[in-house]
Amino acid sequence: MVEAHSSVGELACPDCAAASRRVHSRYRRHLAELPVGGRRVVVRLTVRRFFCDTATCSRRTFVEQVEGLTSKYARAGPGVNVWWRAVALAVGGRPGARLCRVLAAPTGRARLFGQLHAPPVPSRSPRVLGVDDFAFRRSRTYGTIILDVEKSAVIDVLPDRTSETLAAWLRLACPDITRACDLARVFHDLVRHRRGHLLLEWIRQAEQDAPVPIRSFAGFLRHDLDPVTAGLTLTYSSGVIEGHINCCLDDQEADVRPRVVPTPPHPCPVAIVTVTRCRRPDPNSRSLIRGAGTGRNRG
């Protein structure tokens, strides 16, 4: 047992911040602390209750708090609370209570479970989510774990590994993903049922409150609104505009494509002659045969 008291002469009111010296009363608080030398430590702290003399303040009295040792309604110091939370996360309730008695920091399972409060909400939602399944009991019960990939931190654990459970979690936890899924479902309906007349309305909705990638996609669709509307309206794949462009490209390719004239077979087997855009030679021409023979003798 450690006896302690505060030696501060005056304290500020937590509401109006006015300094006060008038003491209303005193009482003792018993705070569990970290063990020393394997023995349990309890701090018996004498605290004071002060008057607030400000007439406009709604608080009439307030109790002093020792920084680093006490907090409102706490029955343990911050150090031993860290121990209890680690034990509760590692082994749970009753096993944790037995382990705490061995560590000379005894507590009950209800207090251990009270340490498992919800983690603080981050200032921004995670940009990259990791989803994987794991086994509560191998080959029997499986769950889903959701991670923040950038911070390597666990966000939530789902009781099963079905896609319906994950989709419901995403709708509640991530409004942006919910909005993106709704817009994607509507766009899929436009494409499947060829409702091109509703495309402009879809683009307007996407540009108002959609996430940035969907908004950029809607901007590209607005830039090519006529061809996309034709593709979502007509029964054949290429719309009127795109089909006309394809026909023009085919005509241009036909104009610039080189013409290949087939080489006719030559009756003389001793020479190879390539003829392009000329008349078929006379088989009885002696000059051609004589020239071919001369070339062979020279080679």
CA dist 226 → 83, 84, 233, 236 (Å): 66, 66, 10, 15
Phi, psi dihedral angles at 207 (to 5 degrees): -75, -15
pLDDT in tens, 160-196: 888 888 888 887 777 777 788 888 888 888 888 888 8
Domain coordinates in residue numbering, the chain: 2-75, 80-114, 129-173, 176-253, 262-294
User: What's the rounded Cα separation, in Å, for the pair 109 and 14?
Assistant: 33
User: What's the rounded Cα separation, in Å, for the pair 156 and 170?
Assistant: 11
CB 176, CB 211: distance < 8 Å: yes
**Within 13 Å, how many C-alpha atoms sit on residue 140's CB side?**
3
pLDDT in tens, 192-249: 888 888 888 888 888 888 888 888 888 888 888 888 888 778 765 544 555 555 555 5
pLDDT in tens, 139-158: 888 989 988 888 888 888 88
Q: Is pLDDT larger for residue 201 or for residue 268?
A: 201
Number of CB atoms found within 10 A of residue 5's CB? 12
3-state helix, strand, coil in the chain (%, to 5): 40, 20, 40
Residue 67 has pLDDT above 60, yes or no: yes
